[in-house]
Structure 1
Amino acid sequence: MTLASRAFAQLATWPDLRQAAPSCGLGQAVSSARGEIAHFHSDRDVDLRLTDRAIRRFDKDLRGSGAIRVVPGSQWVTIRLDAASDVDLLLTLVSVALQAQQTWQDPADRPTVGCNDQRGAGFVRASTGGS
Structure 2
Amino acid sequence: MTLAQRAMEQLEVWPDLSSGPASCGAGRALRTVHSEIVHFHSDHDVDLHLTERAIERFRADLQESTAIRLVAGSRWVTVHLDCDTDVDLLMSLVSMALKAHQTGSSPVGDPARSECNFHRVTVVPR
- The TM-score normalised by the length of structure 2 is 0.91
Q: Does 1:40 align with 2:55?
A: no
- For 1:1-131, what aligned pairs fall within 5 Å after superposition? 1-102=1-102, 105=105, 109-112=108-111, 113-119=114-120, 121-124=121-124
Give unmatched runs, 5+ long, in structure 1.
127-131
Which structure: larger Rg? 1
Count of residues paired in the alignment: 124
Question: Corresponding residue for 1:129?
Answer: none
Letter in 1 for 2:82: D
- Cα root mean square deviation, aligned: 1.7
Letter in 2 for 1:109: V
Which of structure 1's runs of 4+ aligned residues deviate more than 2 A?
Answer: 103-106, 108-113
- The TM-score normalised by the length of structure 1 is 0.87
Letter in 2 for 1:110: G
Separation (CA, whole Å) in 2 of partners of 1:44 and 1:7: 10
Separation (CA, whole Å) in 1 of partners of 2:76 and 2:29: 13
Counterpart secondary structure, 1:6: helix
Separation (CA, whole Å) in 2 of partners of 1:88 and 1:125: 19
Give unmatched runs, 5+ long, in structure 2.
none
